Structure 1
Amino acid sequence: MHKKNKITIFLIEDDPSQLKSIESLLEFKGFVFQSFKNAMDFLTLSDISRPAVLVSDMRLPDLNGVELYKALTDRGEDIPIIFISGESSIQQSIDAMKQGAIEFLVKPFDINDLTNAIEKATRLEHKRVNLKTLLKNLSPREKQVFDLLIQGLNNSELMKKINVSLPTAKQYKSEVMRKLGVKSLSELMNLSNQTV
């Protein structure tokens, strides 16, 4: 495992030759990966170690990509997904992106396209994992303030919503931003939009 690739790639592909081809690429690039021939085998994992990226065929024998994404979100998993497919339906691509896919690649795809998609997903995953770690440092009240701030509430709306004085609302806002390492509300919104 190369030090730069401290991420696990979960690969779901039912076509044996395609599976072998992608595994060879991941191995060559120094990624740690785990392969599955169907979605249900992947979903039986009791713990998906993070940081991680999922590369999955859109059409599997047991679940399609949309059903897989729903199963993951029902479990509270927000792992970045790259869908691959042998079909080039524009609607399928749009549906995949609506379901939260980072990328949709049509087979046969260029290995550089897959590598670039994995790098993009890896950056997003590191941001998500980092934000989750930072959010653990917030008190329950600060987490509530964070949730309200990313909804776009201003200081006076925040004050009314959590039933505190204006100076106290400003103090909570300031503390949330300090703990998350952001200097402005726009930075906070940008951080949450990219990662939550």
Structure 2
Amino acid sequence: MTNVPEELKKGSLIRAVDDDPAIREALQFMLEAEGWRIRTYAGGQEFLTEDAPSVPGCAIIDVRMPGMSGLELQREMNVRGYRLPVIFLTGHGDIDMAVSAMREGAVDFVQKPVEQERILEAIARAVDRGRLGEGGSLLLGDIRARVSTLTDREREVAALIGAGLTNRQVGERIGITVRTAEGHRAAIIRKLGVREPQAIARFLKNLEEREG
């Protein structure tokens, strides 16, 4: 089970935005049992109206909702300058939407039906990202642990992304399709917990310098 300091749980608020009351109830029961504080919302507009984004934590958002979709909510949060890390809940057919969400800054996406260990790991990573920002304050052990989750190909792609190459340029450089490059980028963002090319480059540079 994911080990998160109790003081971090007490100082964070997890938001669950989903139009399905059964999902909201299940998440609330699960997270409260694990010691997290949680507040649920039935839709994006309710979240935007009632939530206090200055309270640290993260938001768990369903991709497909009537009215304002999860992606539309994410874009509105970006427009408003919300720095709250986002985890998306997706169906099996939503991989393209998930990739788009990651490119917009989502920390992770978790497929339904939700597995407890998977969502708890995602929450811990999201809250950690929100607390530490784009990775500049991580210790060497944290950086090494995150980079070690990358496959050799993902690390190769990460270096190219860090150098400022687009997905198309990455594909041309190493002989893969643009779609495959997008998939690698999404995996890198999810595993490292950062999305900006400069932050990805800093991860790799810090690891090389501290191990050198």
In 1, the alpha carbon distance for the partners of 2:96 and 2:28 equals 28
Task: State yes or no: 1:4 paired with 2:8.
Answer: yes
Higher Rg of the two aligned structures: 1
Match of 2:89 in 1: 84
RMSD: 3.0
Percent identity, please. Answer: 26
Task: State yes or no: 1:39 paired with 2:44.
Answer: yes
Q: Secondary structure at the match of 1:105?
A: strand
Equivalent residue for 2:59, pick from 54, 57, 62: 54
Task: State yes or no: 1:190 paired with 2:202.
Answer: yes
Greater mean deviation of Cα atoms: 22-31 or 48-57: 48-57
TM-score scaled by structure 2? 0.58
Match of 1:106 in 2: 111
Q: Judge conservation of contact 1:50–1:129 (CA < 8 Å) in 2.
A: no
Q: Judge conservation of contact 2:129–2:135 (CA < 8 Å) in 1.
A: no
Q: What does the per-residue CA deviation read over 1:39-88, in whole Å, with 9 as the maximum and x for residues that have no partner?
A: 10000136323312000111111211221111111111121100002343
Match of 1:66 in 2: 71
Aligned residue type for 1:63: M
Match of 1:165 in 2: none
Q: Judge conservation of contact 1:88–1:106 (CA < 8 Å) in 2.
A: no
Q: Secondary structure at the match of 2:58?
A: strand
TM-score scaled by structure 1? 0.63
Q: Secondary structure at the match of 1:34?
A: strand
In 1, the alpha carbon distance for the partners of 2:134 and 2:39 equals 20
Note the residue ranges of structure 2 that are not aligned, 5 or more in a row: 1-5, 137-197, 204-212
- TM-fit CA distance, 1:130: 10
Give the aligned length. 140
